[in-house]
Structure formats: C-alpha cells, structure tokens
Amino acid sequence: MKIVAGNSNRPLADAICAYLKLPMAKGQVKRFADMEVFVEIQENVRGQDVFVIQSTSFPANDNMMELLILMDALKRSSARRITAVIPYFGYARQDRKPGPRTPISAKLVANLIERAGAQRVLTLDLHAGQIQGFFDIPTDNLFAAPVMTRDIEENFGSTEDIVVVSPDVGGVVRARALAKRIGAPIAICDKRRERPGESEVMNVIGDVDGKRCILIDDIVDSGGTLVNAAEALLKNGATEVSAYISHGVLSGGAVSRIQNSRLKSLVITDSILPTEAVRAAKNIRVISIAPLIGEAILRTSREESVSSLFY
C-alpha cells in the first residue's frame, strides 16, 4: 500500500500516514510559471494499492487538477489500484438542475475522476447521498458522526437536556442519525422568505425551551444560516447553541460572522485545511478525522468491511 498526497491538506495526509504507520510516498506537485500543474512520482508504484489524498477545497479548480494529474501519473506508472481519497468533495452542492440551462457539476467531476484513473472513491459526508450514484466505480461515503459523538460525550456530559437541530429541512436525516447516537430528540429550523428582498424568517419546529441545542450540518460556508438558526433557537428559549459541521468552507467574512454571533462553539473537522483565522477564532474548534479515514483506508486495502465503522 502507498499513500500519495496533493497540496490541499498536507497536515491531514501526514496525520493519516501517522495513523497507518506508513511513510508518505515520495513525489512532488509543483507549478510551471503559468501555474500549470506538474506532478512527478519519485518511487516505484508498479503493482501497488495506491491511495491519493486530496480535498477539492479552495482553490477548488487547482486542487481538482492536482488530483486528476496525480491519478493520471499513477495510472501511467502501472499502479495496481488507485483510490481517490477526497475528504471534502468540491462541487457537491451542484448535484441537480435547480433551474433551466444549469449544469450538474457534481456528475461532471465524478466523470473526470473516473476518467483520470480512479478505481475507487473514499469521501466524507457528501452534501447529497445520491452523488454516490454519479460514479460507476465503488464509492464509500464515510460519516463524521462517530467522531462528533465522541466529542459531544467528552464536552457536554449528560445528554438529558440536549436537542439536536437541523438548520434546514434538507438536513433532517443527518440530524436524526446523530440524535439516535446520543439518545436525544431533534428539532428543525424551517427557513423561509416571506417577500422578495426581506430577510429570512426562521420557524423552529420542536421543543427547545430550556434545552442545550446542537446544530448539525455537512457544510458551513458563509455562516449566515447557522447564525440565523442560533438566534431563532435562543429566541425560542434555548439556553445555549453549539454547532457541529463536517466541512468548514468558511468563505468571505464567515469567521468574523461566527465569532460575533451568539453561537457558543462551532466544531468542524479538518477535512479542509483550517486557515489562520479559523485557528485564531475563540469559538471555533477543529477535530481530526485522520483516524477515521486512516482506518477506512486500512480496511479498504485489506478488503474488509468499511460500513461496520459506523454501527
């Protein structure tokens, strides 16, 4: 087994290698003067089971090209099997046609990954489960829920007064899965815009009065929905609001928006490399998914069950 990594999240790749007790395969990913990607694998991979670790986070297009070119280099070097390990799968939010003459970019990206040489895909908390069906190769969608559950148990103590909250109707399945793990009820924030140009109104479905609320979602980008949901929950009697999010995209002024909000804490995974601003924020904390991904890689290489990680 060989582990190869692009430049999108080297600390996570190093942590996965540490878990597996394997050295990173020697190679380099660099740029020509015009920013074209150049890749060179500097050790023999013929007949090897190779795992390429690369999140397609910002800059999404650069990181995507790195992943594709790395896999092409490995395919042309006669690797036995290439598995694309994509902790954060970019373009996942474009999984359907929301209107006429719009693309389904998640399907296009799936086609590119297959064509570049991937024979398996390993990813984490896809924005929409049906994206697995966009691939014609085996695709394992891991869940950060076990890591989050462990963190909640360590930091919240008793779960008697906890309510797990979905910040929108689309995330109910994810909220229900986490609530089942910790033995808590769920609530939903129903977001709607009464009139064009007016701010969104958050209606809370469920009893949160006197409860500690945990918002759960897959992606936090601008942070607007999360902050609005926290305000609505506190207005409905919640004593405090925390959030657990798989992928901390946190673009634009999201970090300052979270810092200035009434969220007690935002916990994200290291599927995306945290920026300096994220690391400096007092109410944002990062938990590692390296052991989870490392164990999934190990089981995949040994042809063992991956789904049993989540029972």
Region at 180 (left for phi over 0; alpha for psi -120 to 50; beta for the rest): alpha
CB 221 within 8 A of CB 255: no
> Across the beta sheet with 212-220, what order do the strands follow?
201-205, 186-192, 162-166, 212-220, 240-248, 265-269, 284-287
Nearest-angstrom CA–CA distance, 75 and 240 = 51
Question: Among 191, 235, 264, 282, which one carries the catalytic annotation?
Answer: 191
Q: Can you tell me which residue has the tokens 């689309």?
A: 170
Q: Could you confirm whether 191 is annotated as catalytic? A: yes
Are 292 and 146 spatial neighbours (Cβ–Cβ below 8 Å)?
yes
- Between helix 172-182 and helix 145-156 the angle, nearest 10°, is 50
Residue type, 208: V
| DSSP-H helix ranges across 157-215 | 172-182
Residues placed in the known binding site for ATP: 34-36, 93-94
Distance of alpha carbon 301 from alpha carbon 191, whole angstroms: 43
Number of helices followed by number of strands (H, E) in the chain: 9, 14
Closest to 267 (Cα-Cα) out of 129, 149, 168: 149
Rg of the chain over CA atoms, in angstroms? Answer: 20
C-alpha span between 202 and 68 (Å, rounded): 41
Give every CB contact of residue 63 below 8 A, 6+ residues apart in sequence: 6, 7, 8, 54, 55, 56, 57, 90
Q: What angle is formed at CA 127 by the lines to CA 121 and CA 128, rounded to 5 degrees?
A: 85
**Catalytic residue numbers, as ranges:** 191
